[in-house]
Amino acid sequence: MGSIQIKEDIYWVGARDWNIRYFHGPAYSTHRGTTYNAYLIKDEKNVLVDGVFKPFIGKFFETLGEVIDFQEIDYYVVNHVEPDHSASFPETMKRLRDDVVIICTEKGREGLIEHYGDGYNFQVVRTGDTIKIGKRTLAFVEAPMLHWPDSMFTYVPEEKLLLPNDAFGMHLAVARLFDDENDEVVIMQEAKKYFANILTPFSGLIINKLKEVTEMGLEIDMIAPSHGIIWRRNVVTIIEKYAEWAEMKPRDKAVIVYDTMWDSTELLADKIADGLINEGIDIRLYKQSVSDRNDIITEIFDAKAIIIGSPTINNVILPELVPLLEDLEGLRFKHKIGAVFGSHGWAGGATKRIAERMKAAKIELIEEPFVTKYVPDKETLDEAYEFGRRIARAIKEKNQ
């Protein structure tokens, strides 16, 4: 029925959320839905690992109930407190034995109490701690900020199985759970989008965590995250991708994002794009109001240049572009250069404000904002083309 055996006596007991279109409130678009992956390990001691988001609690209990009597569960590992995994915690606890042991980090304990109250039987673990559950062992690796302070990985050495919760995950609802059963292009795209939009600010921690796990010598032949597919064919690939993405090394690519009121800023965007293309630069061009912000960020993630254009309205930026500027500041991309453009009528203001926001996002502005009044004439459009060519040359000259 709903459960899927992923290794001998180890089951996926999660839920598929086919219809979710935004995650983290409205912050993250999930065009392809998501899954909330929970797992059950059956041994001399039976272990439940993680849970599901609130709307799927009933389905989760149905699936879990197929493979075990709730009263036979001995340990409940909470790798991460965020409600997409822990919303089922209180209802689950009502169904488990009173002496069930909840395994989590100290921050996990604090987070669970803050979300659901106290009175539970916690066992706090740290990196290096292990629990023997029969022929298998649970080993724990704290992973703070991947994705919350409470996060940890659970590792089962006898199975070479890593359960890292959010890390290595993606928002993708799938019928078949394993990477080799799905379109590789899609899963890598969703994994990259997840990293770019959620994990980028923690890249330094990811580099250190990968180094730590490598030094621990963990043998891994399966990574079973809490969202999306389970890695078994591409284990090495996704670890290498994480190492690469965490370095944030951009390639010779530019992303132009703009919006427009009466087409003038759009005319500039088009000419700037031509200048870049004719210099051989790979570009993406987005009108923000008809584009998905998270998809744009995924393209910005590995681009060297970000070029943002807006007309001025009431002395400020066209509001559609503001969420992107907020994201750029929050995500803290590295090694990026930038430029700004836009048209205005009787008074400017938007390009200056965008430039300030890009500087706050630590994007190195390589040109003064390119500004035109009302409608750009032929000469101005030629200048916009040259503006694009100069940005292209700066891209090629920038080493990092």
Applying CB under 6 A, the residues found at the interface with ligand FEO are 80, 82, 84-85, 147-148, 166, 226-227
| CA distances for 245 relative to 199, 332, 338, angstroms | 10, 13, 20
Q: Which is nearer to ligand FEO, 147 or 209 (CB)?
A: 147
- For tokens 């923690």, name the residue: 202
The four Cα atoms 262, 353, 289, 327 give a dihedral, to 10 degrees, of: 170
Where are any strands of DSSP class E within 116-272? Answer: 122-124, 130-132, 137-142, 152-156, 161-165, 222-225, 251-258
- For tokens 């998809």, name the residue: 295
Minimum distance from residue 133 beta carbon to ligand FEO (Å): 25
d(CA 219, CA 2): 29
Structure tokens at 186: 């899609």
Instruction: Name residue 138's beta-bridge partners.
Output: 131
Minimum distance from residue 1 beta carbon to ligand FEO (Å): 25
The four Cα atoms 68, 74, 78, 84 give a dihedral, to 10 degrees, of: 30
Q: Which is nearer to ligand FEO, 228 or 388 (CB)?
A: 228
- Picking from 364, 373, 382, the residue whose alpha carbon sits closest to that of residue 307 is 364
Helix (H) or strand (E) holding 2: none
Q: Which is nearer to ligand FEO, 136 or 147 (CB)?
A: 147
Q: Which is nearer to ligand FEO, 16 or 85 (CB)?
A: 85
Minimum distance from residue 80 beta carbon to ligand FEO (Å): 6
For residue 291, the one-letter residue type is: S
- Picking from 282, 198, 193, 188, the residue whose alpha carbon sits closest to that of residue 240 is 188
Minimum distance from residue 83 beta carbon to ligand FEO (Å): 8
User: Which residue number places its CB atom closest to ligand FEO?
Assistant: 82
Q: Which is nearer to ligand FEO, 17 or 43 (CB)?
A: 17
Q: Which is nearer to ligand FEO, 143 or 350 (CB)?
A: 143
Structure tokens at 341: 């453009």
Q: Which is nearer to ligand FEO, 51 or 388 (CB)?
A: 51
DSSP conformation letters of 111-126: HHHHHH-S---EEE--
Minimum distance from residue 33 beta carbon to ligand FEO (Å): 14
| CA distances for 293 relative to 130, 200, 287, angstroms | 42, 15, 10
Catalytic residues: 24, 80, 82, 84, 147, 166, 194, 227
| CA distances for 239 relative to 14, 166, 219, 386, angstroms | 23, 14, 12, 41
d(CA 350, CA 337): 19
Minimum distance from residue 16 beta carbon to ligand FEO (Å): 14
